[in-house]
Structure 1
Amino acid sequence: MRTYQKVIVSILGVLVIMVAAVTGYGMKVLGDANKAVDTISQQVNRTTKKREVAVNFGDKDPFSILLLGVDTGALGRKDHGRSDSMMVVTVNPAEEQTTIVSLDRDILSDMLDGVTFDKLNHAYAYGDVELAMDVVEKLVDVPIDHYVMMNMQGLRDLIDAVGGIEVDNKIDFTLEKVHVPAGKITLDGKTGLAYARMRKDDPEGDIGRQRRQREVIAKIVDKLISLDSVSNYQKILKAVEKNSRTDLVWDQMLNIVTNYYPAFENIEQAQLEGQGEQINGIYYQILGVNELLKVQNLLKEQLGLPTNEELEIDPQFQYSINGFIGNQFYDDRDYSSQENSAESFYEQ
């Protein structure tokens, strides 16, 4: 599945419900939400290498979440799966901004065993959430503080739980016998899942699909933040607890609700993409040095971290046998300009 970054939504669903509980449903909702969080909480056996001191939600530190959409849970798929959707989300309460950066699943990435370079989405298959977080952390060069994972069925259930989402679909298509017409339409869980998964009929391929995935996230978040969604809180919680997991615990979520909520109302989106290349007969996305640097600096700015003027490359990967820097990147630097800021990098 390529969309289950509907993940931030799973957290936001719980968070929004808790906020609404204060005014609407009281302790009943808080109790149900607490149980749901206990169900989905699963800690990871890793610590970010990019921070000396862990994020303190009480102090309103900016933080990051890796969103993983796993291609299991629906359409008869029950295996471990791969994280065919991956997004890095940064939340900055001082700026009242959330940033979502989509990562192409085919990005050639270091699997951190000293020898293996493979597609980014294989990290989850090789080493579950822990390796996925470590591989992404090295790639984007910012701390990955937490994760949220959701499967296909979770997205479908969540869209239904919020009463559907409205989109302006540009491409009339049918995916696995599910027809999604062009135009301004309301998607339910079934059609919404297809809308987020479709790739082959989109002229932009994975890039177009990832754009639709981010759109779905934003639409669900809008619904979750609205008061109308609170009446469906039990459906939302059910969608979350059956099909997702996270290392965030109840107290952390309460702090996020208290200190970060306005940031979720301002979501900026960006895309990390490279160029397609065949290596040993296998398709990969190869990232440009400058493109990756821009994304790294964008995320660092959002997390309040120092930016870099040049991409840092491990000395052992400085030289390439196939024309790419470190067998992983190509040189897209503009030598007529040294400007590497993240300004105007956001999608319009």
Structure 2
Amino acid sequence: MKRLLLWTGIAAVALAILTGSLVWYVYHSVKSTADRMYEPIERITPMRVSKDASVPKKPEAAPLPGKLRAFTVLLLGVDQREQDSGRSDTIVVMTVNPAKHSAFMLSIPRDSRTAIVGRGTTDKINHAYAFGGVPMSVATVENFIDYPIDYYVKVNMEGFEKLIDAVGGVEVDNPFAFDYLKHHFERGHLSLNGEEALLYSRMRYDDPHGDLGRNTRQRDILQALMNQALNLSSITHIHSLLGKLGDSVRTNIPFGDMKRFAIDYRPAIKSIDSAEVQGKGRTIDGIWYYIVDDAERDRIQGLIKGHMLN
């Protein structure tokens, strides 16, 4: 009996050591990957190029206080090639408000004509990344929405594919059947892996709504992806997820904030709503732009500010 108790005690201690070692290993592996992804930015001092070209002043995001506060994230899907600075083909502003148990995503068409903050010109909003990388994109989007951006997350397009596979794929409702790069997408409810989702979100020339249709499909993919991510149930899933994304993602979210988002924020978010910037196409000096009028700017700014208020 004493020997049985002794062996039981030894087994319990050994199990505790092994479990503790596993938790330590996973924790430090996640931290190492998160540190590799971490890339802070310097804020650009705005150059006034029009009456509305002034970025809301806000310092780099500070560590989160004890209370779960609302925050904003700029999501940039970047198509980057060799010897090319790349361009931000996907631009989404996300607001997260635990007090309202919801997140909100605003999709900004890449051809939207706006002031490029830090350059002194007016151009397509996605050109801000080509001109000045993440800092200029953040400053330009802040000016466009008239609200500060706390964090950014930049993902290359191959990273989106890995991310979707890491969460087990996504489901979308396709409004019409189409073929793209030898892949056929039926009309109706679809379950897509990473490669299929990337192709589904890239097609635009056969879409009756052109680039706006592609924006809608990208937003649907992102929303489905966020819903899948909210259902990740353990640190081991998060470890696997980050491990596959380490070389594809750059962000200014510190590891400590990532932990709080995963542990404290994720259970508080029950729904994700979305909207898209509305406008009209117009050719100016031979270049096609998406024109967003003042009334629409007021509407989208109101949506963002309204969601951030408790």
**TM-score normalised by length of structure 2:** 0.82
> In 2, are the aligned partners of 1:55 and 1:62 still within 8 Å (CA)?
no
SS at match of 2:297: helix
Residues 161 and 256 from structure 1, CA distance in 2 versus in 1: closer, same or farther, beyond 3 angstroms?
A: closer
Q: How does 1:1-348 map to 2 (within 5 A)?
A: 26-46=23-43, 49-51=56-58, 57-58=64-65, 59-72=67-80, 79-113=84-118, 115-227=120-232, 233=238, 235-304=240-309
The offset of 1:67, in angstroms, is: 0.5
Q: Which has the larger radius of gyration?
A: 2
Q: Which runs of 4+ in 1 moved over 4 A?
A: 52-56, 227-235
**Equivalent residue number for residue 342 of structure 1:** none
Q: In the TM superposition, what whole-angstrom CA distance separates every residue of 1:130-168 from its partner, at most 9, and x where no partner exists?
A: 000001101110001110000110011112222222223
SS at match of 2:209: coil
> In 1, are the aligned partners of 2:201 and 2:214 still within 8 Å (CA)?
yes
The offset of 1:274, in angstroms, is: 1.1
Q: In structure 2, how many angstroms separate the alpha carbons of the residues matched to 1:127 and 1:264? A: 33
SS at match of 1:157: helix
Query: Structure 2: which amino acid aligns with 1:136?
Result: V
Residues 52 and 304 from structure 1, CA distance in 2 versus in 1: closer, same or farther, beyond 3 angstroms?
A: farther
Q: In structure 2, how many angstroms separate the alpha carbons of the residues matched to 1:95 and 1:78? A: 44
Residues 93 and 78 from structure 1, CA distance in 2 versus in 1: closer, same or farther, beyond 3 angstroms?
A: farther
SS at match of 1:242: coil
> In 1, are the aligned partners of 2:280 and 2:292 still within 8 Å (CA)?
yes
Q: In the TM superposition, what whole-angstrom CA distance separates every residue of 1:259-292 from its partner, at most 9, and x where no partner exists?
A: 4223543111011121100000100011121111
> In 2, are the aligned partners of 1:124 and 1:131 still within 8 Å (CA)?
yes
Query: Structure 1: which amino acid aligns with 2:288?
Result: Y
Q: In structure 1, how many angstroms separate the alpha carbons of the residues matched to 2:164 and 2:212? A: 22
Residues 34 and 136 from structure 1, CA distance in 2 versus in 1: closer, same or farther, beyond 3 angstroms?
A: same
> In 2, are the aligned partners of 1:223 and 1:229 still within 8 Å (CA)?
no
> In 2, are the aligned partners of 1:91 and 1:263 still within 8 Å (CA)?
no
Q: In the TM superposition, what whole-angstrom CA distance separates every residue of 1:40-98 from its partner, at most 9, and x where no partner exists?
A: 0001011774337955522322111111000126xxx6632101110111111111111
Q: In structure 2, how many angstroms separate the alpha carbons of the residues matched to 1:168 and 1:115? A: 41
- 247-256 vs 181-190, which moves further: 181-190
Gaps of 5+ in 2: 1-18, 45-54
Query: Structure 2: which amino acid aligns with 1:50?
Result: K
Q: In the TM superposition, what whole-angstrom CA distance separates every residue of 1:98-137 from its partner, at most 9, and x where no partner exists?
A: 1100001001111135741110000001000000000110
Residues 197 and 265 from structure 1, CA distance in 2 versus in 1: closer, same or farther, beyond 3 angstroms?
A: farther
**TM-score normalised by length of structure 1:** 0.73
CA RMSD, Structure 1 to Structure 2 (Å): 2.5
> In 2, are the aligned partners of 1:162 and 1:229 still within 8 Å (CA)?
no
The offset of 1:226, in angstroms, is: 2.8
Residues 82 and 53 from structure 1, CA distance in 2 versus in 1: closer, same or farther, beyond 3 angstroms?
A: closer
> In 2, are the aligned partners of 1:224 and 1:230 still within 8 Å (CA)?
no
The offset of 1:236, in angstroms, is: 2.0
Q: In the TM superposition, what whole-angstrom CA distance separates every residue of 1:275-320 from its partner, at most 9, and x where no partner exists?
A: 1000001000111211110100111122229xxxxxxxxxxxxxxx
Q: In structure 1, how many angstroms separate the alpha carbons of the residues matched to 2:221 and 2:147? A: 25
SS at match of 1:79: coil
SS at match of 2:100: coil
